[in-house]
Amino acid sequence: MLKVNPQTFALPILLLALQVFSLALSAQPPASTTGSRVAQFFQAIRSGDSLQLERQLAAGANPNDTLHGFSALMTATLSGTTAQMKRLIDRGAKVNYADKDGITALWLALPDRDKTVLLLDRGADARMMSREGYSSLVKLANMPGTVDLFRLLIDKGADPRKSGPDNSLLYNAAGTGDTAIVGLLLRSGVGVNDTVSFGDYPISASLTYRQFSTLKMLVDAGAFLNVQPMKMPLRNLNGFTPLMWAAVVDDERSFYYLLDHGADPNLRNQRGYTALMLLQMSEGENPDMTLALIQHGASATVRAQDGSDALSLARKKGNTRSVELLKKYVP
């Protein structure tokens, strides 16, 4: 039987977010103990001490030196100060240098506004992509409250419609609940029903994190209510509809909104569970939601592949009120 844990259902989005952020974080060079001039140069940058940096440059340090593929400017962006970045650029540091993963200083600067503005003013290319083909907008989409930076990057040439090989941009933004960013992306022409690499949809992302505000925006923009992704990273999630997500995570507001807008309560996931069955396995007991499903046509007699039905699942979990309600609809 499927054991439901709300934290489990956040994993697909977390996997995607980790994939995006690891591009930046995994590349940070560790402190060196070799005592080499380059290592000392990078240690001075990471210290945040502009005086140490000046001493290294005066001693002949190259502003375009790299350590483990990371440039001096990238290190200053991630671990140093804006003043250090400016000094390195003044000395000829390449603003658009990219490491083996296609990560640039601009990618690392986000969401720091001062560092981002400095790089853009000095010629950073907002259109550059990571090795996987994602723009820095995809990273920024994971960070609510950054719509001004979105607009700035777009003004500098970043195209939301060409931000990557899939719809990670809107998918990530939908999960944050930032309606300003989601609205900007929808107005820019990003497809509300385009999927991410494993076939999931932005509407699912909004439900995973119980973000009704972005869910409503997506539905109002034409998001399909009955999508059933079948290539999820966790096989037990294959075939989950938005209504099933809302039931599992006890998101009452989204649940009723989806029902009222035509969500089909009788669709089954890959293992044969319906929204009514999954609701009995959620963290709380919700007899009102159970009744709402039945009133919208949900069948209480459907059985999953393991032979369970809504009534047996409610009994197993100890949902006393739901059991009494479901008995009225089971022969």
Q: How far is CA 169 from its chain centroid?
A: 8
Of 195, 175, 174, 194, the closest CA to residue 183 belongs to 174
Q: What's the rounded Cα separation, in Å, for the pair 192 and 142?
A: 17
Q: What's the rounded Cα separation, in Å, for the pair 248 and 9?
A: 9
Q: Which CATH code of 3.40.630.10, 3.90.1150.10, 2.30.30.40, 1.25.40.20 fits the domain covering 239-331? A: 1.25.40.20
Q: How many CA atoms lie within 13 A of 178 on its CB side?
A: 21
| pLDDT digit string, tens, across residues 176-223 | 999 999 999 999 999 999 999 999 999 999 999 999 999 999 999 999
pLDDT above 80 for 124: yes
pLDDT of residue 236: 85
Single pTM value for the model: 0.85
Of 297, 220, 292, 310, the closest CA to residue 266 belongs to 297
Fold of 7-25+133-224: 1.25.40
pLDDT of residue 149: 98
> Which residue is listed with tokens 């939601």?
289
Joined together, the tokens standing for residue 56 give: 């290294």
Residue 155 CB partners (closer than 8 Å, separation 6+): none
- Dihedral (CA of 290, 291, 295, 297) sign: positive
Residues in the chain: 331
| pLDDT digit string, tens, across residues 238-284 | 999 999 999 999 999 999 999 999 999 999 999 999 999 999 999 88
Q: What's the rounded Cα separation, in Å, for the pair 41 and 289?
A: 62
pLDDT above 60 for 28: no
Where residue 29 falls among pLDDT bands split at 50, 70, 90?
A: very low
CATH 1.25.40.20 residue spans of the chain? 7-25+133-224, 28-98+102-131, 239-331
33 versus 217: which is more confidently predicted? 217
Residue 270 CB partners (closer than 8 Å, separation 6+): 230, 235, 236, 238, 239
Q: What's the rounded Cα separation, in Å, for the pair 257 and 247?
A: 12
Q: What's the rounded Cα separation, in Å, for the pair 29 and 75?
A: 8
Q: Is it true that domain 28-98+102-131 has CATH number 1.10.579.10?
A: no
Burial of 173 (0-12, 13-18, 19+ CB in 10 A): buried
